[in-house]
């Protein structure tokens, strides 16, 4: 996507991991700018990624807010969407993005305030949990690691 100049934002669990704390997820959620120009870039990037294979998506499919284009199978699925509730429009989110690495690849992440708004607009248990973690991260509260070794250390100190 970067090579084609696609305007996209990493959202969902990977954005939560970037801003606050990693958690298990089944996919990579990517919000794309819903314009015809950007849709053409997305389709070109997909053609390159899939070595010229025709995937059957149109510009309208890419920009239609009712569609989520799912590539791959969980837990390594990529979900491309052109709309997300809770943070206004893409242009505002783009201006407030955070550019950082996704692994070793440059990426654009949804800003923390917009991610908090998006998580607050969805009433699912995981989104409510993410929202609590994101608000703590925004307030500067250090989040405790949930790795196995950190749990073992905490248990050892108490014993």
Continuous H helices in the chain: 12-19, 36-49, 59-63, 90-95, 112-120, 125-139, 148-158
Domain that residue 39 falls in? 2-158
For residues 133 and 39, give the distance between their C-alpha atoms in angstroms, rounded to a whole number: 33
What CATH number corresponds to the domain at position 111? 3.30.460
- Determine the pLDDT at residue 145: 54
- Number of domains within the chain: 1
- Determine the pLDDT at residue 131: 96
Put simply, whether the predicted model's pTM sits higher than 0.75 gets the answer yes
Q: Which residue has the higher pLDDT, 6 or 53?
A: 6
Instruction: Work out the average pLDDT over 135-143.
Output: 85
Mean pLDDT, the chain, integer: 89
Q: 67-102 pLDDT, tens per residue? A: 999 999 998 999 999 999 887 899 999 999 999 999
């Amino acid at each position: 996507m970067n090579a084609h100049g696609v305007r996209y934002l990493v959202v969902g669990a990977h954005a939560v991991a970037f801003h606050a704390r990693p958690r298990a997820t089944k996919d990579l959620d990517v919000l794309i700018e819903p314009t015809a120009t950007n849709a053409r870039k997305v389709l070109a990037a997909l053609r390159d990624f899939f070595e010229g294979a025709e995937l059957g998506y149109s510009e309208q499919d890419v920009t239609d807010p009712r569609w989520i284009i799912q590539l791959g199978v969980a837990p390594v699925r990529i979900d491309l969407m052109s709309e997300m509730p809770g943070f206004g429009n893409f242009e505002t989110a783009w201006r407030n993005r955070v550019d950082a690495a996704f692994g070793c690849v440059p990426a654009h992440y949804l800003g923390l305030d917009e991610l908090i708004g998006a998580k607050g607009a969805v009433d699912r248990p995981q989104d409510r949990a993410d929202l609590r973690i994101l608000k703590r991260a925004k307030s500067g509260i250090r989040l405790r690691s949930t790795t196995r070794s950190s749990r073992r250390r905490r248990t050892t100190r108490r014993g």
